[in-house]
């Protein structure tokens, strides 16, 4: 498996400002990532759920295009991670209603042997201590990137700082970059994060796109202008999935010697794919849209987006 993700599988509750809510839907950082990444490249999936995990959710994960879910452990006697979030009127900000870590505070799942030689590893949002431990289970990836969020910045900062020394890149929301660094300016926040060790930081700004702060330069990409925003949950994870999937596909199609997986231009190209993948996620709750998306639909929107970016 060229790309492997380690992340959460969650049972989510989502409340949106229009009053439309869903309780007990499939979510989790690893799920959204894998659903997007699998459209670009074969993706290994490592996560653990409890015995309360609904079989129909398991089937949904198994059915994701390009995703190998043999790394999804179902643990007897354990309970699945649960999370609830409520979106504010702008749909770009949310508050966490509850987080029940459950299985996430137990031992992490094993990494199948077939994944341990992965060229690209994504440590989706999880406790940074677990992310660090899991990163050590891979032989010699060419690219390792992590995501994080407010809960871990609040509760596990030393572990997060230690993780940043050992990853090539970090992907996080602007609010979290500000929370970590104290900087209100995106570029300043990104530069401060680089001082902890990574070669690049991607700061996601929801509807306002994403900024790449790299040791070799700065780049900005707008979000795809979506009119249909039903549930933004998982936008960040599927952005990362599209981005990392596109990089891995470039490496796999003969670019290994030619491209630097953490290079400025590689990342700029890959971020466009992440942007487009995320634009589908938000059109429905859970995997309602992303889970049945075809590569043709993805490519068609990618070309439309590229056209929008072109200046004559
Ligand atoms: P995103 O909207 O991209 O930030 O991702 C939301 C998903 O992350 C939801 O489906 C949640 O199940 C999952 N999630 C929420 N909080 C956490 C957390 N602290 N650690 C890992 N995953 C989380």
Per-residue pLDDT tens over the stretch 148-196: 999 999 999 999 999 999 999 999 999 999 999 999 999 999 999 999 9
Measure CA of the first residue to CA of the last residue in the chain; give whole Å: 41
**151: nearest Cα among 133, 175, 167:** 175
| 190 Cβ below 6 A of ligand 1 | no
Q: What is the pLDDT of residue 256?
A: 58
- For residue 259, report the distance from its CA to the centre of ligand 1, in Å: 31
If one counts the domains in the chain, the total is 1
User: Which regions of 149-263 does DSSP assign to beta strands (E)?
Assistant: 169-173, 200-204, 210-214, 217-221
Per-residue pLDDT tens over the stretch 219-259: 999 999 999 999 999 999 999 999 999 999 999 887 656 78
| 234 Cβ below 6 A of ligand 1 | yes
- For residue 95, report the distance from its CA to the centre of ligand 1, in Å: 12
Q: Are strands 21-27 and 94-100 parallel, antiparallel or unpaired?
A: unpaired
Domain hosting 226: range is 3-309
| 80 Cβ below 6 A of ligand 1 | no
Q: What is the pLDDT of residue 239?
A: 98
Gap between the Cα atoms of 197 and 171, Å rounded = 13
- For residue 281, report the distance from its CA to the centre of ligand 1, in Å: 14
Gap between the Cα atoms of 296 and 273, Å rounded = 13
- CATH number of the domain to which 50 belongs: 3.40.1190.20
Percent of the chain's residues with pLDDT above 90: 94
| 29 Cβ below 6 A of ligand 1 | yes
Beta-bridge partners for 192: none
Atom of ligand 1 nearest to the CA of 236: 3
| 188 Cβ below 6 A of ligand 1 | no
Atom of ligand 1 nearest to the CA of 11: 12
* Mean pLDDT, residues 286-297 taken together: 97
Q: What is the pLDDT of residue 253?
A: 83
0.85 exceeded by pTM = yes
């Amino acid at each position: 498996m060229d790309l492997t993700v380690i992340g959460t599988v969650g049972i989510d509750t989502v409340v949106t400002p229009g009053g439309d809510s869903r309780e007990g839907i499939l979510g989790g950082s690893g799920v959204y990532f894998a659903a997007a990444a699998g459209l670009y490249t074969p993706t290994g999936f490592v996560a653990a759920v409890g015995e309360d995990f609904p079989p129909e959710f398991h089937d949904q994960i198994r059915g994701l295009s390009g995703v190998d879910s043999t790394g999804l452990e179902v643990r007897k006697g354990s309970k699945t991670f649960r999370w609830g979030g409520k979106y504010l009127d702008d749909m770009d900000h949310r508050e966490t209603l509850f987080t029940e870590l459950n299985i996430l505070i137990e031992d992490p799942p094993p990494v199948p042997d077939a994944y341990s030689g992965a060229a690209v590893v994504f440590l989706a949002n999880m406790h940074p201590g677990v992310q660090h431990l899991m990163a050590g289970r891979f032989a010699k990836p060419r690219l390792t990137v992590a995501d994080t969020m407010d809960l871990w910045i609040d509760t596990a900062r030393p572990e997060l700082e230690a993780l940043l020394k050992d990853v090539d890149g970090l992907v996080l929301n602007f609010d979290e970059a500000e929370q970590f660094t104290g900087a209100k300016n995106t570029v300043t926040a990104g530069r401060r994060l680089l001082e902890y060790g990574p070669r690049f930081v991607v700061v996601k700004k929801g509807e306002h796109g994403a900024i790449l702060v790299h040791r070799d330069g700065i780049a900005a990409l707008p979000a795809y202008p979506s009119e249909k925003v039903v549930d933004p949950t998982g936008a960040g994870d599927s952005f990362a999935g599209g981005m990392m999937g596109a990089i891995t596909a470039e490496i796999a199609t003969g670019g290994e010697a030619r491209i630097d997986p953490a290079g400025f231009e590689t990342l700029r190209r890959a971020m466009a794919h992440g942007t487009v993948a995320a634009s589908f996620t938000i059109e429905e709750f859970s995997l309602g849209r992303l889970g049945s998306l075809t590569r043709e639909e993805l490519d068609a929107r990618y070309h439309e987006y590229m056209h929008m970016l072109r200046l004559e």
